[in-house]
Amino acid sequence: MSVIRDRLGAVHDRIARACEKAGRGPGDVRLIAVSKKVDADSIRAAADLGVTDFGESYIQEARGKIGALPQGLCWHMIGHVQTNKVKYLPGLFRYVHSVDRGELLDALERFGTLIDVLFEMNLSGEPQKHGTNAEGLKRMLERAGSLKHVRPAGLMTMAPYVEDPEQVRHVFSNLRKILDDVNREFGLQMRELSMGMSSDFEVAIEEGATMVRVGTALFGERT
Q: Pick the range with the lowest mean pLDDT from 3-7, 10-14, 58-62, 219-223.
A: 219-223
The pTM of this model reads 0.96
Q: What are the Cα distances from residue 206, in Å, to 46, 158, 202?
A: 25, 16, 6
The total of other beta-carbon atoms located within 10 Å of residue 85's CB is: 15
pLDDT at 185 over 80: yes
Mean pLDDT value across residues 188-196: 98
Backbone angles phi, psi at 53, to 5 degrees: -115, 130
**CATH assignment, 30-190:** 3.20.20.10
> pLDDT-based confidence at 127, cuts 50/70/90?
confident
**Spans of all domains in the chain:** 30-190
pLDDT digits (tens, 9 = 90+) for 133-174: 999 999 999 999 999 999 999 999 999 999 999 999 999 999
- Segment holding 166, helix H or strand E: none
Q: What is the pLDDT of residue 222?
A: 79
